[in-house]
Structure 1
C-alpha cells in the first residue's frame, strides 16, 4: 500500500496497537537490569514501530517472527548505548551491533535464525569475528546466560542465543508453554512445533500439512495470539484454542 494512501496510516496504527502487548512483554523481561520500566517500554515500543515500518510481507515471513527480534535488538541497543559493564573497544561494540542487526535481517529473509557461516558471508567477515561480535554482548550489563554462544555451524544461532524462544513471545522457559501446547488442536500444535522448533517456513509447513500458505499464516497468527493472551494473564488453562 502506498504511504500516501490515507489507509496506510490507519493500518500502521492498528498494527502497532495490536502488538503493543508483545513490546511490553519484552520490556518486562529486562526490568531487573536497573532501568526504569517506563523507559524500557518506550524503547521496546520504538522497536515495534521500526518493525512495522520496515516489514516486507512479500518475503513470506509472518510479522511477529520479524517484529520480536527487531524489538529485542532495539532494547539491547539501548543497554549497549547507555553503558557497558566493562570497557569494550569501539571496534567490538560496532561488531556486536553489526552482528545483531544481521541476525534480525537474515531472520526475516530466511524464515529462521541464521547460522554463524551465513552471518559471516552476509557481513563479509570471518566466523571468528561473528563469534567475537556475539561474545562482546556479554560485556554490557544486559547480557544474560541464554545469550552465551554454544552453537555449532549446523545449529541455527537461535538455539544458542534464545532466538527461537524470542519468536515464541520470549517465553523464559519452554516448560512454561508446555501445558498450553497440550490444550491446542493437534494441527495447531503440529504447525507451531514445525514453525518455531524446527525452523520450517510457512510454505514448507503448508506443503507438509496439505493446506495453503495463507491458511498456515492465519492459524499461526491466531494460535500465537491465544498463547500470548494466556501468558499475559497467567491464568490456569481453562479453555482450548478455537479450531479451524
Structure 2
C-alpha cells in the first residue's frame, strides 16, 4: 500500500514569538510540542480558508488539499500509535489512517466552528478499526471481549512501566476490577488476528501439524443414529416386552433367568423376544 502526498507549497504560518510585557505582567512561553501543534492548527485554518475559495478538480485546489494532508499527518501517526500492539506494520496502519484523514478533509466545513483535529480523529480511528476488522482479524471475537482486551492491553503497558516488569494476571485483574478468567480470555482474544493452518507443521518442536494431533475418529459414532432410533422404538412396546429386552440386553440375563424373574416359562420369554424384534424391525426406518 503506497500513498504519495506532493510537497506543499502553501503559505506557511510563522511560529508565534512569546509575548513580552503581557497584560498579566509575565511572558507566556509554549513548549516546542505545543508550539508545533499551535502552528499546525493555524496553518490548517489558513489552508481550509483557501480551499473553500477554490474549485474542486483544479490544480490549485489539489495543491492546497495535498498541503492539508501533509500538515495533518502527525494526527494520523498519533492515532496509529494506539494500535501498535496489533503486530501489524505501522506503515500500513498510518496509510490506512491517511485515507481517513483525506475523507475528513473532504467533508470538513470550517464554518461550523469545530476544530479540525476534533472532527478528523473519529474518522481516522474508524478507518483504522475497519481495516483491522475486515482485513486482519480472521477469527470473530465478541465486541465486549474485544473492547475489554483493549483495556487489558492498556493496563498491561501502564503496569509494566510502573513495576519495571510484566504484570501478573492477578495484578491486571485488580487494576481493571475484573476476574482473572476474563483477563485470560482477553489475552487469548488478542491472539486471534491470525489463524494457523491445521496442516502446518509446528515450528521449532518438529512435531506434525495440529490436524495429525487432534485425536481419532470414535467408532461408536456410527451407532448414534441407531441408538436414538432404538430408544424411540422401545417406548412404543408394551411394558412387559420393554422389561424383557432390558433384562436381556442391559442386565445380560439369560432367558432362563428372565423366566424365573417374571414367573413365566422360558418358551414364553422366547416368543415375546421374537415378537418384540419383529415389531422393531418393521418400524426401523433406517433398514427400510
Structure number with the higher helix fraction is 1
Which structure ranks higher in relative contact order (CA pairs < 8 Å, sequence separation ≥ 6)? 1
Query: Could you tell me the TM-score, scaled by structure 2's length?
Result: 0.31
Larger-Rg structure: 2
